[in-house]
Amino acid sequence: MKFIRSFLKTLFTILATLFLYGLFATGYLILKLFRMETGAWRNICLNLWGKSVCKILSIRVEIVGEVPEPPFFLVSNHLSYVDIMIYFNTLKTTFVSKAEVKNWPIIGFMAKTLGIIFIDRRRKSDVARVNRSVADQITEYKGVVLFPEGTTSSGESLLPFKPSILEHPAKSKMPVHYAYITYETGPKDKDAEQTVCWWNDEPFGSHFFNFAANRSTVAKIHFGDETLQRDDRKELAAELYQKVETLHQKNTLYSSNKVVAEKSA
C-alpha cells in the first residue's frame, strides 16, 4: 500500500508539473506574440502548480504572520525542495538556487525558463552577476526568496547566513523580510527530519519517492512581523540570522512542550 501511494503521488506530481508548464509556455508565447506583460500569467501558473502539488502530496500549508506582496526580498531557512512548493503555493516569487539544479534533466530547463536565478557558490566572481539578476527580477509582479544558509539542513539548527547575495538590498536600502519554515508529518509517518528534510547524500529521486509515501505533512511558514534595512550586507546578514534564529528557538520550544504534553497524556 505504501509503495502504491508513493508511486501514484509521484506520477500525478510529474503529470501536473508537465501539464502546468505546458499551459504556462503556451500562454507565455501568446502574450509575447502580442507584446503583453507575462508576469501575472507566470504567477497564476506557478501558484496553481504550488497548490496542485501540495494537494497531490497531502501537504497542508499553514501561514503565521503577514504574507509579503511584490516587490519584496525575503530570506528563509532551507530544509528541502519542498520549500519551493510551499513558497510558490503562497507567494508571487522567484528564487536564488544552486547552479547544480540548472543541469537537472527537464527540471533544470523549466527552472531556467521560469526565471529562477542560479548561483555557482564555488565561484566568487559569480556573486556580482547574481546580485544584478536579483535587482532585475524584483518587480511589481514578483519578489525574490533567498536561502542564505546556502544549503539544506535537518532543521535541528540554523546554519550561518552567507551575506554575499544581500548586496542588492543593502546597497539599495531595501527592506528585507524574513521567514522560518517547519514541517510535521502525520502520526503514522516517519518524522519530517527523515522524510521531508533533504540534507544528506540521498539522490533526489529516491528521497522524493520516500517523501511521497507520507500520508500527510503540515508545512508552516512563520513570517517575521517586521522588516530589516541596513546598508552593510554583513550587518544585515547577522541581524537577519538572529531574527530567524529567534523563530527557530520559539518553534523548538513549542515542539518540545508538545512532545512532553503528548507523553503526559
pLDDT of residue 125: 80
Instruction: Domain of residue 118: give its range.
Output: 57-259
Q: Which stretches of the chain drop beneath a pLDDT of 70?
A: 253-265
146 by Cβ neighbours in 10 Å (0-12 / 13-18 / 19+) ranks as buried
Q: Is residue 4 part of a domain?
A: no
Strand partners, 185: 217
| Ramachandran quadrant class, 35 (left: phi over 0; alpha: psi -120 to 50; beta: rest) | left
* Residue 251 within any structural domain of the chain: yes
**Would you say residue 228 lies in a domain?**
yes
Please report the pLDDT score of residue 122 as a whole number.
76
Residue 22 lies in a domain: no
Q: Does residue 15 form part of some domain?
A: no
Given this model, what pLDDT does residue 72 score? 97
Instruction: Answer yes or no: is 40 within a domain.
Output: no
In a domain, 65, yes or no: yes
Asked whether residue 46 is domain-assigned, the answer is: no
Q: Considering the entire predicted model, what is its pTM?
A: 0.92
Domain count, the chain: 1
